[in-house]
């Protein structure tokens, strides 16, 4: 009789053990692993300027190409990478260039072209904070502010002719200039800084290209 009941006793004991294990599992707190994807600068599609354009369209097309090139150099990088400095002693960074060009856009198009007085968002005292104050900078917000400034820059001179002369808001009030000069100067400014951006981007992850 004892031998016949043996298997049943083992089965019952196994059931009890399994039940105890299930209870212990139920009592454990459930942990859910949540993968958060780190923000990276969005991609941008650049349009090559046309080969045969009128003067105003050509100036606008080349300026837009350079604007997009700066964003293209930032695309795919994290906030931390955008804040990385170039080789010492240079303090340049991609995010610093974006912030700087946001203010340059405002300076020439809205303040000069639109003949308005506006503060600089990053460097109101002209002490280089557009390049320097990056530790707590919100890279995503800075890039979005750059895009918005471009939109407002376009609107500021939309009704102006290239020959229209606007007054100076700098230290030399006698230096009035026409809208054509502003476009040409902005293309030159971007071309210079996009050269910097080329080198900074290559240093960060080896990416090169136009």
- Annotate 137-150 with b (16+ C-beta within 10 A) or e (fewer): bebeebbebbeebb
Residue 54 pLDDT > 90: yes
Residue 156 pLDDT > 60: yes
Q: What is the CATH number of domain 55-205?
A: 1.20.120.450
CA separation for the pair 3, 9 (Å, rounded): 10
Contact status, residue 128 vs residue 137, Cβ threshold 8 Å: no
Place of tokens 């097309």: 61
**What residues pair up with 166 in beta bridges, in sequence order?**
177
For residue range 80-130, list pLDDT tens digits in order: 999 999 989 999 999 999 999 999 999 999 999 999 999 999 999 989 999
pLDDT at 90: 93
Structural domain spans, the chain: 55-205
pLDDT at 6: 46
For residue range 68-79, list pLDDT tens digits in order: 999 999 999 999
């Amino acid at each position: 009789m004892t031998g016949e009941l043996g298997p049943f006793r083992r089965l019952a004991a196994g059931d009890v053990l399994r039940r105890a294990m299930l209870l212990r599992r139920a009592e454990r707190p459930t942990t859910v692993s949540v993968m958060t994807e780190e923000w990276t600068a969005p991609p941008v599609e650049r349009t090559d300027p046309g080969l045969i354009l009128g003067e105003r369209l050509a100036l606008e097309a080349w300026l837009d190409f350079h604007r997009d090139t700066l964003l293209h150099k930032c695309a795919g990088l994290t906030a931390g990478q955008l804040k990385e400095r170039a080789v010492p002693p240079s303090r340049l960074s991609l995010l610093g260039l974006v912030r700087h060009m946001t203010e340059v856009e405002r300076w020439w198009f809205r303040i000069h072209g639109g003949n308005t007085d506006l503060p600089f968002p990053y460097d109101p005292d002209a002490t280089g904070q557009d390049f320097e104050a990056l530790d707590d900078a919100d890279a995503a917000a800075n890039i979005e502010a750059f895009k918005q400034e471009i939109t407002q820059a376009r609107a500021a001179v939309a009704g102006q002719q290239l020959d229209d002369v606007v007054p100076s808001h700098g230290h030399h009030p006698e230096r009035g200039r026409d809208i054509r000069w502003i476009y040409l100067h902005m293309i030159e400014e971007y071309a210079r800084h996009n050269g910097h951006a080329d080198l900074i981007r290559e240093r960060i992850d080896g990416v090169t290209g136009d």
